[in-house]
Amino acid sequence: MDLDDLFARLRTATAPAEIEALQDGIWQVWLAAGHPVLDKHLEEGMRAMAAGDYTRAIEHFTALVDISPDYAEGWNKRATAHYLRGEYRASLRDIAETLRREPRHFGALSGWSVILRMLGDNRGALQVLRRLEKLCPAWPGLQAQLRDLRDQLDPDPF
């Protein structure tokens, strides 16, 4: 099944197990860098990130995006490493690059909304989550997040 088919099914999926299986399938496609050198940088960067060595992770992901700038997941992984290091502006720049290459990247959209909320931009976070809702309206926890943001932005006094 190709990426478009997986996303088409994700849009209509309602069962959490089905949504998770479709997400896993999409991640498998995204994580296939397609070349041994790229795979090595991706793997080493992910290993460094898991070990909490965000500087080393960023070095590997930077090498990955330098070698293959069209590979969206390289940008997304570097955005995650920047986020984990507390570098939100750098993370937002890499999220933008990720979404320029893969506008349906739910991981990047989710991370973007988290950062916007942390920065106090609830209106922006709501817009991003609406984009995520178009990909998968039944995304676990999404409707509650949307309600929470709408309530914060337009509280009903009654």
pTM: 0.91
pLDDT at 158 over 70: no
| HEC readout, 50-67 | HCCCHHHHHHHHHHHHHH
Query: Phi then psi for 85, rounded to 5 degrees?
Result: -90, 0
pLDDT at 4 over 90: yes
pLDDT of residue 49: 97
The per-residue pLDDT for range 80-93, each reduced to its tens digit, is 999 999 999 999 99
